[in-house]
Structure formats: structure tokens, C-alpha cells
Amino acid sequence: MARTLIAAGNWKMHKTSQEASVYAEAFLNSVGNFRQVEIIVCPPFTSLPLLSQKLAASPVKLGAQNMHWETKGAFTGEIAPAMIKEFRCDYVILGHSERRHIFRETSQEVGQKVQTALNWGISPILCVGETLEEREKGKTESVVAEQLLQGVDAVPLDKASHLVIAYEPVWAIGTGKAATPADAEEVIGFIREKLSQKFNRDVAQKIRILYGGSVTPENVFEFVVKPEIDGTLVGGASLDPGKFWKIVEETYRASQNK
């Protein structure tokens, strides 16, 4: 079945809102009314108010990079779902490897966030992926399955198709060493199989599964042309509006060749 491909940019801790404004102007000039690929920009929280205005009339969607599983309360430094929803976030990245490894988020916490996001009508971009050590020990599938199944544990069948999963091998993130398209396709096929067992085949066929890790305008085509890969989650290369637009264009070109 044809799933709409996604090009999602994760800015991580980059760009002030002033820099985001300059980016938005340049990027929107390229995007115009292009809707063949779903484009998602995930800036730091501080740029959401400005970008929600600048992007309002465009096809570009907004995502946050994290949120808390509770809806309000004494959680100093955290952000609630209503606070990102207020600024038109249709998506939220959850369980990114930097959150798991630097900030010690557990799969169980990520699962709580996934559930809360869906309750608020925000689609989670749930990130999963193994470290180099885990890959070398042959543990890729068990690690990915654990992160995935705990992440979607409390997701009801009727909301499951709103999930987006990103397979991001930790060793490929920010290293310039992307996975091979064949390896990414294999793990993503495995993820779809697990989703099919957890939900059902129809639902699993609707869930978009992305690849992330050192995606560039030069290599994106080879990934997204693969039948199981429904787009990319892009860090470094999304920080430049010209490069990110090229990634969108290449994603579209691949969609014509699938």
C-alpha cells in the first residue's frame, strides 16, 4: 500500500528563534505549495511559537523533540502535551537515542509518553536503535524489539496507525557513517513484522517507519526507494534549508521509483 513519505528534520539543540526565522523564510521559498512528501520540522521548544506562525499557511508540519507523560504538575524543566499542541505540533519525537543514552530515559518512560501523545492527538515519532556494541554482539533485533514493544505497549488498536517509528542505529547518528540501505530495510521490515504481531497486518501496513542516521541529500534516495522505508529523520543535514529541501526533492523522486 502507498504510504505518504516523510522527510522530518530534527534540529536538536540548534538555532535561536531568530535563526529559525531566517531558515523558515529560505525554506518556504523552496517549499511553496509542495505536498507530495510530508515535511516535518522539529525545532527546539523556544522556536515553536514563531515557527507555528510562519508555517501556518504552508504544508510544513511542526514537531517537538520531547514532552512529559503527565499533563501538568510539579515537573521542573519539563514540557506538557498541551504546551506543544498550543503551537500546532502534530508530531513529537520520543525516545531519541540522545534522550535514552544521555538523559537515561527508559523504554517504559518512553512508552508512557507515547500513550500521552496519542491521547492528545499528537503523533509520536518513536525512535529505536541499537548501539555499535549491541550490533556487534548480534543483539540488534532484541534491542529494537524491546524498545519498540515497550514503546507501543499501551497503544490501543484504534490509535496505532497514527504512530511513526524511526529506526536510528546509534552508531549512525551524527557520525557520517550511515547504515547501508539494505541493513536499514532489513531492520525496518523486522519492525513492521513486530507491529503486525502486536496490532494486525492492516494497521502495520499503515504505520510509517523512517530511517535516521547520517542521512544526506546524496544518500537519501537509496534509503527511501526501498519498499519498507517510508522516509527519513534527519539531524545535521536538516539544519541547512537548501540541503533539507534537496532531501525532500530526493524523497519525492524516490516515491516515483518505488
Catalytic position from the list 168, 185, 249, 250: 168
CA distance 120 to 63: 13
Q: Is 146 a catalytic residue?
A: no
Q: Is 168 a catalytic residue?
A: yes
Q: How near is the Cβ of 162 to ligand PGA at its closest, in Å?
A: 20
Nearer to ligand PGA, 168 or 250 (CB): 168
Those residues whose C-beta lies under 8 Å from the C-beta of residue 204, and which sit 6 or more positions away, are 192, 193, 195, 196
Q: How near is the Cβ of 72 to ligand PGA at its closest, in Å?
A: 28
CA distance 38 to 28: 14
- Number of residue whose CB is nearest ligand PGA: 235
Nearer to ligand PGA, 14 or 198 (CB): 14
User: Footprint of ligand PGA on this chain (CB under 6 A)?
Assistant: 10, 168, 173-174, 212-215, 233-237
CA distance 37 to 70: 32
Nearer to ligand PGA, 105 or 168 (CB): 168
Catalytic position from the list 38, 68, 96, 185: 96
In the chain, which residue ranges form alpha helices assigned H by DSSP? 17-31, 48-54, 81-85, 97-101, 107-119, 132-136, 140-151, 181-198, 201-206, 220-224, 241-255
Nearer to ligand PGA, 181 or 235 (CB): 235
Amino acid code (one letter) for 206: K
Q: How near is the Cβ of 178 to ligand PGA at its closest, in Å?
A: 8
Catalytic site positions: 96, 168
